[in-house]
Every structure is written in structure tokens, then in C-alpha cells.
Structure 1
Amino acid sequence: MQQHTWQFFRAGGVDQVSIRTGEDIAHIGELDQKLWVALACPTRGIEFDCATLDLIDQDKDGRIRAPELVAACQWAAAQVSDLEVLTSGSDALQLASLRTDTEDGMALHAEAERILRWAGREGEDGLTLAEVQNRLKALNAMPFNGDGLINPDTLPDAPLLSELVRRIMALYGESQGVDGKPGMGQAALDAYFADVRAIHAWHEQALAHDCVLTQRDAAMAAAQALNAVQDKIEDFFARTRLAAFDATALVPLRPSAEGYAALGQDLLSSRSDSIAALPLAPIVAGGALPLVQGLNPAWSEAMQKFHRHVVVPLLGADVQTLNAVQWQALQAQLAPCQAWLGEYPASALGDMSAAQAQKLLDGGAEAELQQLIARDTEEKQHNQYAVQLEKLIRFQRDLLKLLNNFVNFADFYRREGAAFQAGTLYLDGRSCELTVDVADVAAHAKLAGLAKVYLAYCECRREGKKRSIVAAFTAGDVDFLLVGRNGLFYDRDGHDWDATITRIIENPTSIGQAFAAPYKKFLRMIEEQVAKRAASQEASVTSSLSTQAHALVANPAAAPVLTPGLRKTDVGTVAAIGVALGSLSAVAVGIFGKFIELGPWIPIALLGIIMAISGPSMLIAWLKLRQRSLGPILDASGWAINGRMKINLRLGRSLSQTGKVPVQASRLLNDPYADPRMGLWGVGALVLAAGLMFLAWRLDWFDSWLPVAAQPAATAPAAAGGAPVPGTPIP
């Protein structure tokens, strides 16, 4: 098997594959994934059609991985006869490009013709994405739309069925239909009627138990009434037996006066738990249980049901009390009824009578609902093929663009707007095109700092909405980029957002900026120290004046009197200051003298001083600029970047551009508000240049550049015989 031949281009410091043809798309799975720029990306937070990304995201986890993208390319390639249509970027599918030599291909072709007929374009070619979407929208709105669900709102002519469907949905859950509305599925319908049959069978087994009450309803009522009070009656007879055993236990077994006093402090009700905890009736040694009078009010209603459904059918209506022997007999007689009642099927239906279960089974509702679901399922195949057509048209339009933002970053390096670029930020006299949406600024900054890029996190606001972005400043100075500065952000749709810097990660933007950084920091430090010193001195003077003013107001007679001629200056202090200034002057003169002795090496010495100051900063900047990478910025946003996407100086200057006056524009240079002192700086520069020229002339630096005839005569003072020494200038 012949392998596909790939073409590569160099960008971002790595070799990236060029994807241009349909064959490239079809064979993308054969490309070594070590050569892919990215291996995964999120389906949200990037500038791409989310519906297309959701179709590729097979496991619906919000991320697209390399195998999912390969599967999408292979599926699209298998549906078309001409692979080049996958590079067209068009949202109109030509029916002639569909394969007809496979069963799925023929089905897609037939469905495309069906949609064209529905759109009134029978026999034409070029099925558009909008037509498929409109067909799906219309199909989804129909009662039978192929999702296998029954929507009760679409059954207006069958109110009983609609009510039953709503009941089943409420008890057994609902499913979301393709129309976005809830409906009942086959599973819920089967579960409902399975429970109905189980309850019906349970009712039919009532007579199979040896229950003394042969009537099903009477047996159920008796078992339920007995279950409700059985523990409480057993508690009563246990207390009476204990009191009969030992009379001293009678008082403790009864409620105490203190207990009733505590109850009297509360707001009582006949159904209060505190009252229900009391004995069922007054405790008497070996006494019987009253059934009508003298009962705990919290248990009065339950005991009435017990008397009506258990005592009267089994012992007679004239029985007003129940002794222990009768109680044991009743329990034995109703034990089979209780066992049958305990076998009631546990389901969401709760209590259901035999008549209700029989009516549901005999009414034919189940068969009708089964037919409706079967009819809806018949349309499922057409719906699936329509969905596949939408998928194919989306892949035809978007796959190539996605590959050029995933397998390679061709769109980014061609400056055509990559999928991860959120828009353009205008701030501090420049535009920043490398902007990325950020979900969590704190988490993003931890990893993005490794990119060695100057990053500014901004909060953007528009019409009550907020979003966070990070912008990369890759060129220009950063002296005025501060937290709190405002700018304007334009998203990819052209909408403008107010942007405010909330966090900054500092890194050099250029070697030139790093060269001036030490001097700017030094001047800034001097300014801060001078400002602090001035503020401190001002506070001291103000405090001193305030103290003297308060003292003068409080005691005018104690005001200091200045005597004319009185010396306030310490002579020793003046002398010490003079000595210090003299020493500093001597040191300065000595350094300057040594510096002058360097002669022609003075420029090199100046250059050495400058490099000693700016060299480390420039070296660090050079190292960081070589390491600038796009990878950590995108990794922090959920991408899995596989290559080292470097941002060199040339690319950085293109991503962050400063404002420039158009070439064809005319300029008026006479600024009426120009600072007049700017001329003094020019005069000072000229004086300094003239001084340096004069110094160079006095030191004969220019002699070697002059012709021999123009050089000064080389004579020397007379020797002992009166002859001048060659090479010695005449004084």
C-alpha cells in the first residue's frame, strides 16, 4: 500500500504539515501524531462553530481529541465520491459528490432528494445546510418526528391518552425529544404496564392465602388496620402483664404527674408525638384494652379503623374491650392477610385497586400507545439520514479550517485569525491580536507564566455581560501598562467591549526595552526617594510650625526673641561639610583625570560602562525572548499543545502593533502646546557635542586622520649642541 506524501512548512520553530487537498484530509490518520501541533482542544471558548465541534465530540465531554478528529475525517471521506469537496468550505452539498455505490450512500442521496422535494426544488442540485436544518426543524415539530417519544401535547384528540402519558412521565421519568420538549419513551411505557400487571396478579392471589376474611377488600383493610396499631397494642398488653406480675411496677409504667406538667408547657395537639408516646390506654394490672372510650387521643382514629375492620368482622360489633387472649387470636387469624399484604409489589404506582388495574389492562391504552411509538419510530431512519446530511455539510464546510487550527496552526501564522484568538485589544496606543478567552484567571496565570510573554489579563464588559481575556503584549514598551488601565476589546464578531487590566505577568518585550529598563528603574527609584524625602521634610516642618504656633498662642510671653548678630550656625559643622565636599571633589577630579588618560579608549570605556549596566538586563531579555512560546497560554485554556509554538521578534511585532500616521497624510508640526524647554535640551546637546569635539582636538585624537602635510610640525627642544631632537614639538 502506497503511503500518502505529505508537504511541510516551517513556522513557530517547528515543521508543520500542510493540509490543502482532500487526500490530505482522508489520510490524516496516517500522519504521526508527534507531528501534530495540538492533540486536544475544548469545544467552547474558541472561535469556531460549536455545533460542528459537538458533532466531532463523540463522548460529549466538551473536548475534541486527535482520535475523534481522525474519525470525523474518515467518516466524511467515506461519504463522498470526490474528496476535493471537503476542501471547498461551502455549505452547499452537490448531490453528485455523494457516493451511490454503498447502502448508506444511496440512503443519503435519497434523503437529499426527498429534502429538495420538500423545499420545492425537485431535480435541482446543491442541497444547502439551511434547507437541511429547516427540514429537521419541521420534522421535529411534527407529532411523529422519529425520536421514538410521545409528546402528550401532540395528542389533542385523545385527552385520556394524553393524561395517561403525563402520569407515566411523572412516575417513570421523561426523555428529551429532538424538538426540545419532553416525551414518554418505550422504556417508561413498558415499566408502567409491567407494574400494573404485577399489582393485578397480586390482587388475584388474595384468596390463595388462608385469610379468615374471604373478601379481598375486607382482608386488605383488616391487614392494614392491624399493621397500624399492632405495636402499640402489644405495648399495652406488655405493660398490663408486667403490672400483674409485680404491683410495684404499676406506678412507673403509668405517665407521671411531672411528665404531664412538662406536656402542659407545650402547644398540644391530638397528633403530637409527645402524646402519641404515652400508653394506648390507662394501665391496670391484667386489665383489658378499651376499644371505644378511654383511648389515647393520638391513636383514636387508628383504633376506630381497627375496631371497624378487625374486631367487628371477627368478634362482633358488641365487643367494646379486648383482652390478651382475644388479642392473640386476632393476630393469628390475620397473619395470612398480613403476609399477603406484605407481598404487594413495590413500584412507583403506590396503592392501586384491583378495579383500577383491570381497567388499565382491558382498556386498550397500552396497545394504542405502542402503535403511536411504532409509528414515530418509522420516521426515525429519515431523521437519522437528515442528521447525517447536516453533519456531512458541516464537515465539508469546516473540517479543513479546523485541521488548520489543530493539526497545524496555519491560520495563525498566516494571520487569518486562528480559532483560539478571541479578538483584538486596543490599549496603550497599540493593538494586541493575540488574545485568548480565559475561564479562571488565577488558574490560567499559573501555567501561562511559563510562556515568557508579557501578559495582561482583562475583564471585558458589554451590555451587562462579562468575559475575561488574556492579551499578549509582544512589542513596544510596557512602562504604562498598569492594573486598572482601560482599553477597548473587539471580539471576532466586531462587538466592542470595555476592557480593564486586572492582572499582569511581566516579561521583556524587546532587547531595546530591556536596554533602557535599568536606567528607567534607577530614575524611578531616585524620584521615589526624593518624593519620600520631600514628603518627610514637609511633614517635619509642618509639625514644627504647628507646635510653635500652639505654644505661641498658649503663652505669648514665652515667644523666642531673636537677638541681632546672634550666630546660629555651628562652625564645626560648616568645617566638616567643607572637608567632605573637598574630599568628594578630589575623588571626582581623580576619577575624571584617570578617565581622560584613557585617550582614544574613552569611547570603549563608555561602552563598557553602558554594557555593565544594561548588559545583564539585555542578556536576560534575549534568553526569555528566545523562549517565548504560544503553548503554555493555550495549554492553560484547555488545549493540549504538542509543538513548541515560538513567538519570535518578527512575529511579535506583527501581533502587537503601534499606531502610525498614514503615509499619505499631511502633518502640521507647529505644536502650539509644545514644551518650550525642549529647545534647551537641544542647546545642551550641541554644547556637549562641541565640548567633546574640543576635548578630542586637544588630545590630538584627530591627528591620525589628517594628511601628513596638515599635521602639526614635529620638533623638539634643542639638545645640548642646540639641535632640536626629532619628534619633539617646539614649545
Structure 2
Amino acid sequence: MHFERYGRTYQLHIRTADDLAQVLGLDDALWMATSAPISGLNCDAEFLALVDLDHNGRIRADEMRTAIAWLLAGLADRSRLAEGTDELALSAIDDSRLASQRLRETAEYILRTIGSASEGSISVAQIEGFREGLDSCPINGDGVITPDAPGDEDTQRFIWDVMSCFEAQEDLTGRAGITQETLDRFLAAAAAHLAWRARTELPPGADVSDLMPLGERTPAAYRALQAVRQKVEGFYARCRVVRFNARAAERIGIGAHEVHQADLSNPAAIDAALARAPLAEPNADGILPLDDSVNPVFRDAVREFRTAAAEPMLGREVPTLSRQEWERVKSTLTPYGDWLAAKEGGEVERLGADRLRECLEGPYARAVRGMLAADREVAERLGQARELKKLLLYHQHLLRLANNFVSFPELYAPARRAMFEMGALVIDGRWFEFAVKVEDRQRHAELARTSGMFVIYAELTRVDEADKMTVAAPVTSGTKGNLCVGKRGIFYDTHGRHYDARVVEVIENPVSFREALVSPFVRLGRFVAGKIEAVSGSAEKQVEAQLGKVTQGVQAGIQEAVQRAPAAGEQAAQESAAAAASRASASRRDLLIGASVSVAALSSAFAFVTSALSDLTPLDVLYGLLIIAVVVCVPTAIVAAFKLRRRDLSALLEGCGWAVNGRMRLDRVQRLQFTRRPTYPVGATGTPRKRWLEALVALLLLALIAAACALVALQAAAAF
């Protein structure tokens, strides 16, 4: 087990299959990450879904171990694992295990099916081609047999008949067909229906039976009985009331309230009233006439009942029907009614008994069962093909995923991009090479503030994509520049697609040592400029106030003179003008006095400063300036050094939902790698010169600080 230092962390070296096997025994606390969201990884989506065993959208350390163990167990030759290829030699599959042996057999079967049996390796593209070819076949492993699957018309008709009785199922291509369950239901319903119908068959040599008291005429008799059953029962109930109370006959008889209240000009209303009226006039004897004296609405139904049921059952002409005779007719037909109510296989009744017998006795069901069995074999092959594809995807991506989960070497390789990098942002004349996808900007910003880094959040948009995406990019070198909310740029993702980018949030922190060192002076300059502006603004307001008073005095005097002129004459006007002139003179005097006081104050301050400086030698002045520089710059430099050293890239990943163990401190190489300003082409003319002046100023400042420190040390030594 070998570790390497990347940045300021020590991470497991994972380059070969043997290194990958070491991950299985590595303590979780030594992993760079123990959990990560799938949405933030630039990798094959199907592969990531396979590693995510519980399908919660995250990959954990235990799921990584399971994936690594499964991959290594399925390979006999692991030498090409580091290549990350989606092609695998058949000889590389370990066929000493039953599961792996099936994978190899499936690979050979796929190669034979697609006409590449001579090849000794298989690829993901070949597996996909095999599956796409099956999708267009009737037997494609989806468990559905469509009518066009069999070659003969009789079997096709059989499938159509099944689909007419039961709900059809769709196959992978959207075509309707039947499944094993549908076939079994149809055959069971057909057998049950035929058995149910067989109960009505008459014994040999017999014309009637208990179930069929009138033989073939029994169904018609039962239908006639059912047509008048409710009305006949209502008639006998009314007869019982009349027998109990004869005066009730008028209220419940044929001339009842419904008929009397009917609109006699409306035939439909009359028919509706008669339909609600009794079958016949109730009587105490309980005798139902079966002639034309019955309710005209039910006259035809009564006549059919008499000829089809009552007279055949009673064996004589039946002009009237007593209650006892009615019960006898009902009881005779009750077995048939019970049989009818217990109907079985009603779903297939529409096909008829003859067609159902043909379906059960013919070879059609057997043919469809054979096709379903073949379809199950294909489904099993497809399942093995999915496992084989899983092996190839693991062979292609798992080692790289480990190098973006267990270790992060790709993050520190300038020529490569880590899986969690989304692309590069070009803005403010610089390239920001490190960017991560942000799902929740507010939550991410809370963690990003703990990183000590200057972070910009950019909203990305494309014309062909409705959804917006947000990325976070750290500024790791140079200065803040013109980066601010609203600044626009362009973003290139890892697939080469470009997006319009707009800065929507900025988290400010020192970007470089130079920026941190000059920040106190920048703040001091802003403070002094603010004070000067405040003082000058105050003086300007005072002058404006004095000028306002002078102007108002002059205007008041002139107004007063104009008003008095008509009344007092020329003398009053002269007096008024003289008074105005006097007031104006007083205002000018006040203004001159105020200005004199201001000049005197400034002169006194200047004289004090000059007097103080005249008592100092040039060396004392230089020494004082150096002391000030030391007091300001040294603490600032120390604080800046600590802040810049504590910058942590892991906080940006944690804001995206990662569980990161190691602190990802930035070194000089990374700082220049993640934020860079491009150089002009070699040999180009008219380009800016190198910034010697800035470098010279920085060197002089450092020299002053060093000299001040030396002077302080010498004086301290002399005093001691």
C-alpha cells in the first residue's frame, strides 16, 4: 500500500488493479471522501446508477467496496484495468465461478448473434447493438407475444381472440400482445365456461331435466318469467292488502293516484304513469288475469309469459293465474336461474362454445406457450447481457471513480479534470479552471465562507436548455479585479459546450499575499479620502451658507427700497438703498471674517506641522515612517499568510453534498493552475510590457520593512 502527497494531503496511490484491491482494506478515515452525490459527477450515468446500490442518488464507501470486490472477482486478467477501455477480452473473464462462466457464455452468444463469433473480445457497443436488434424482434425477452409473432394465421387469430377477451399488454416497441398470465387466464376461463354450459346438456334420450324443465325452451321460459316477475309479485302483494281491507282497493288499484295525476295530453306521461301502475286490478281472491285486461304497457310481456312459461309448465291453458300456480312456475325454473346466476367464464362467452372448444383442443395454446418459453430464454440472456455490460462499465470507469473518491490525483493533474469538475469559466480576462455544480446556492455559500477563499457563483444558461445551472469557482491567484455581481462571461463544460455566464453572488476573501498586504493601505486611503471629502464638503457648505446670507441681504434691501419709493419719494429710496448697502457690507464683512478664520486655522495647523518636522532630522522622519510601515505591514503580512495558508478547497465540495475527510489546502502550483491569466502569443507585437514598476515598488516596500526591523533591533540592543 503506497501513499502519495497531493497538495498538502497524503492519498492512496491507485494506478493498477492491485492498488484498487488495496482500497478494500483501507480505513474509511483515510479516504478523501466517504460519500458523494451522483449529480455532481461527470461520468457515465448508467455506471453511477449501478454503483449506487440503494438508488438514493449518492455513492458511499461501502458501495464502492462492493463494486470493487465484484469487479475483481469477475476478472481473470486485470492488466488492462488502468486503460479504462470499454472493451474486454473473453479470456479476461474469470470462468472458474459459475456466475462469471455465464457471463462468458453470454458474451459468446452475443458475438454469434451479431455475426462476430471470430472476435476474441466484446465491447459495450456490441452489447447495445445486440439489445437494439432484439427490441425489433417479436421474441425480445419482454414477456409479451404479439399477433405477428407466430407464422401461421390460425395462431395469430388465437392471439387476437385472447386479446378481445382480456386487456392486451404492450411490448417494448409499444405493440399490443398477450403474456403468460393472460394466456393462462383465457384458457382457465374457456374451460370453466364450457364446463358451466355443459350442465345444461340433456342426458341421452331425455327431453328435459331438473335444470332444463322445458328442454331447449327453458331459456325462453325463464326470460319470459323474469320480464314480469316484479310486476306479478307486486300484484299479489296488493291482493293481500285488499283481502285484509277491501276499502283499500281504490287506493292501490289500476286507477291509482299516478294515473289520475298524469297529463292526459302527453302520451309519454301516460305511458310512464301506466308503467308505475299495478299489472291488473287487485282482488281479494288473488287471481291474475292473463288476457287483454291487464295493464296495456305489460300486455305483450304477460302474453309471452303465458305461452312460453305458464301453460307449458302447468300443462293446460291458463287464462288466469293463482298465487299457488305462480309459485309453482317460479320453483320449477329456479334451478335454471341459479345456474344462470353462477355463470363462469363470462369474459370469453362472446367467442361461443364452438370457438372455445377449438381454442382449447387445437395446437394454438401450445404454440404460444412455446413462444413464451423462448421469450423467457431471451429475457434470461438479456439479464446476463446486463450483467456483462455492468462488468464492462466497471472495467472502464471504476478505477477512475476510485481516483475521484478514495483519492483525488486528477484534481492535481493540470492535463486532466476530476469527475466533480464541471468545466472552466472565462471572465474578467482570466480563466477559472475549477468549477463545481451547485444545487442549493444558499447552503453552499454557508460552507464556502468557511473555506477562506474568494468564491464567485455564476448562473449558466443556454438557448437549447430550459433549466439554469449554477457553478461555484474559487479565485486562487492574482487579485479580485473587476469581479462583482452582474459581471458576465462564458463557461465551457467538460464536453466542450459553452454557456452564457453571469455572476450572481460573490464571497470575498483575500486572493493573494500581495492583495492582503496592500489592503490596509487601501482601506487607509479610502478612510483619508473620505475624511477629506467630509471636511471639504463641510467647508463648502459653510461658504455656500455665507454667500446665501449675503445674497438674501442684498435682495431684501432692494425689495424694501422698491416698496418705499412710491410713498416716501426719492429720499426714502436713498435711505433704503443706503441701508441695503450697509447690510450687504456687513454680510461681506462676516464672510471675510469667516474666511480669515479658516485660513488662520489652516496656517496654524501647517505651522505646527512645520515646527514639529523642523525639530526632526531626516533620519528621524524616515525612521518614523518605517516604524509606521512595520506596525501596519508586519501584522497584516502574518495574518495574510495564515489566511492564505488555511484556504480549503474541500469546503466547496462539502457545500455540494460531499463527505470529505481530508483538508484540501492549496499549494502554489494549484493556485496558479485554478486561476490563470493567459499569456500573449510568442512573437506578438504591441503587447503590454512586464510590470517592472509594480515589482520594484513591492521590493522597495519589503526593503523598508526589513530596514525598519533592523533599526528597531539595533535600538533595542543599544538600550539594553
Q: If the length of structure 1 is used for normalisation, what is the TM-score?
A: 0.65
1:425-459 CA-partner distances (Å, limit 9, x unpaired) = 11122112222234555565566555554131312
Question: 8 Å contact 2:452–2:643 — kept in the other structure?
Answer: no
2:45 maps to which of 50, 54, 57 = 50
Question: 8 Å contact 1:455–1:505 — kept in the other structure?
Answer: yes
Q: Quick one: distance in 2 between partners of 1:255 and 1:511? A: 105
Q: Quick one: distance in 1 between partners of 2:73 and 2:322? A: 86
Question: 8 Å contact 1:115–1:132 — kept in the other structure?
Answer: yes
SS of the residue 1:84 aligns to: coil
Q: How does 1:229-308 map to 2 (within 5 A)?
A: 281=276
Q: Do the aligned partners of residues 129 and 669 (structure 1) sit closer, same or farther apart at CA in structure 2, a change above 3 Å counting?
A: closer
Q: Quick one: distance in 2 between partners of 1:307 and 1:12? A: 103
* 1:630 to 2:661 alignment: no
1:290-322 CA-partner distances (Å, limit 9, x unpaired) = 9999x99xxx9xx99987998985558999999
Stretches of structure 2 lacking an aligned partner (at least 5 in a row): 203-208, 549-561, 566-575, 716-720
1:560-609 CA-partner distances (Å, limit 9, x unpaired) = x9978562947667756765776677678768877987753342235435
Q: Note the C-alpha offset of 1:461.
A: 0.9
Q: Do the aligned partners of residues 429 and 326 (structure 1) sit closer, same or farther apart at CA in structure 2, a change above 3 Å counting?
A: farther
Q: Residue type matched to 1:398 in 2?
A: H
Structure 2 equivalent of residue 418 of structure 1: 418
Structure 2 equivalent of residue 719 of structure 1: none
Q: Quick one: distance in 2 between partners of 1:592 and 1:214? A: 141
Q: Quick one: distance in 2 between partners of 1:37 and 1:305? A: 92
SS of the residue 2:80 aligns to: helix
Q: Do the aligned partners of residues 97 and 334 (structure 1) sit closer, same or farther apart at CA in structure 2, a change above 3 Å counting?
A: same
Q: Note the C-alpha offset of 1:663.
A: 7.4
Structure 2 equivalent of residue 92 of structure 1: 87
Q: Do the aligned partners of residues 141 and 470 (structure 1) sit closer, same or farther apart at CA in structure 2, a change above 3 Å counting?
A: same
Q: Residue type matched to 1:414 in 2?
A: A
Q: Do the aligned partners of residues 481 and 226 (structure 1) sit closer, same or farther apart at CA in structure 2, a change above 3 Å counting?
A: farther
In terms of fraction of residues, the more helix-rich structure is: 2
Q: Residue type matched to 1:376 in 2?
A: D
Structure 1 equivalent of residue 557 of structure 2: none
Q: Quick one: distance in 2 between partners of 1:378 and 1:170? A: 27
Q: Quick one: distance in 1 between partners of 2:425 and 2:52? A: 31
Query: Which 10-residue stretch deviates more, 117-126 or 410-419?
Result: 117-126
Query: Which 10-residue stretch deviates more, 518-527 or 95-104?
Result: 518-527
Question: 8 Å contact 2:437–2:472 — kept in the other structure?
Answer: no
1:648 maps to which of 666, 689, 702 = 666
Q: Residue type matched to 1:628 in 2?
A: D
Q: Note the C-alpha offset of 1:468.
A: 0.3
SS of the residue 1:83 aligns to: coil
1:631-675 CA-partner distances (Å, limit 9, x unpaired) = 5x44454x542413424253652354232434734443799xxxx
Question: 8 Å contact 1:149–1:175 — kept in the other structure?
Answer: yes
Q: Quick one: distance in 1 between partners of 2:365 and 2:684? A: 85
Across the aligned residues of Structure 1 and Structure 2, the Cα RMSD in angstroms comes to: 6.3
SS of the residue 2:62 aligns to: helix
Q: Residue type matched to 1:410 in 2?
A: P
Q: Residue type matched to 1:641 in 2?
A: A
Question: 8 Å contact 1:241–1:286 — kept in the other structure?
Answer: no
SS of the residue 1:498 aligns to: strand
Q: Quick one: distance in 2 between partners of 1:100 and 1:352? A: 53
Question: 8 Å contact 2:189–2:348 — kept in the other structure?
Answer: yes
Structure 2 equivalent of residue 714 of structure 1: none
* 1:605 to 2:623 alignment: no
Q: Quick one: distance in 1 between partners of 2:609 and 2:410? A: 59
Structure 1 equivalent of residue 501 of structure 2: 499
Q: Do the aligned partners of residues 388 and 582 (structure 1) sit closer, same or farther apart at CA in structure 2, a change above 3 Å counting?
A: same
Stretches of structure 1 lacking an aligned partner (at least 5 in a row): 1-5, 545-557, 672-680, 706-731
Structure 2 equivalent of residue 82 of structure 1: 77
SS of the residue 2:276 aligns to: coil
Q: Note the C-alpha offset of 1:106.
A: 4.5
Q: Residue type matched to 1:281 in 2?
A: R
Question: 8 Å contact 1:95–1:109 — kept in the other structure?
Answer: yes
Question: 8 Å contact 1:510–1:649 — kept in the other structure?
Answer: no
* 1:457 to 2:480 alignment: no
Structure 1 equivalent of residue 180 of structure 2: 186
Larger Rg: 2
Structure 2 equivalent of residue 668 of structure 1: 686
Q: How does 1:343-382 map to 2 (within 5 A)?
A: 358=357, 360-382=359-381
Q: Quick one: distance in 2 between partners of 1:417 and 1:292? A: 100
Structure 2 equivalent of residue 24 of structure 1: 19
Question: 8 Å contact 1:41–1:640 — kept in the other structure?
Answer: yes
Q: Quick one: distance in 1 between partners of 2:593 and 2:234? A: 115
SS of the residue 2:393 aligns to: helix
Structure 1 equivalent of residue 559 of structure 2: none
Q: Quick one: distance in 1 between partners of 2:464 and 2:51? A: 33
Structure 2 equivalent of residue 478 of structure 1: 480
Q: Residue type matched to 1:423 in 2?
A: G
Q: Note the C-alpha offset of 1:18.
A: 1.6
Structure 1 equivalent of residue 677 of structure 2: 659
Q: If the length of structure 2 is used for normalisation, what is the TM-score?
A: 0.66
Q: Quick one: distance in 1 between partners of 2:249 and 2:606? A: 119
Question: 8 Å contact 1:113–1:123 — kept in the other structure?
Answer: no
Question: 8 Å contact 2:33–2:406 — kept in the other structure?
Answer: yes
Q: Residue type matched to 2:49 in 1?
A: D
Question: 8 Å contact 1:12–1:645 — kept in the other structure?
Answer: no
Structure 2 equivalent of residue 723 of structure 1: none
Q: Do the aligned partners of residues 482 and 168 (structure 1) sit closer, same or farther apart at CA in structure 2, a change above 3 Å counting?
A: farther
Question: 8 Å contact 1:169–1:188 — kept in the other structure?
Answer: no
Q: Do the aligned partners of residues 628 and 585 (structure 1) sit closer, same or farther apart at CA in structure 2, a change above 3 Å counting?
A: farther
SS of the residue 1:9 aligns to: strand
Q: Residue type matched to 2:428 in 1?
A: D
Q: Note the C-alpha offset of 1:371.
A: 0.7
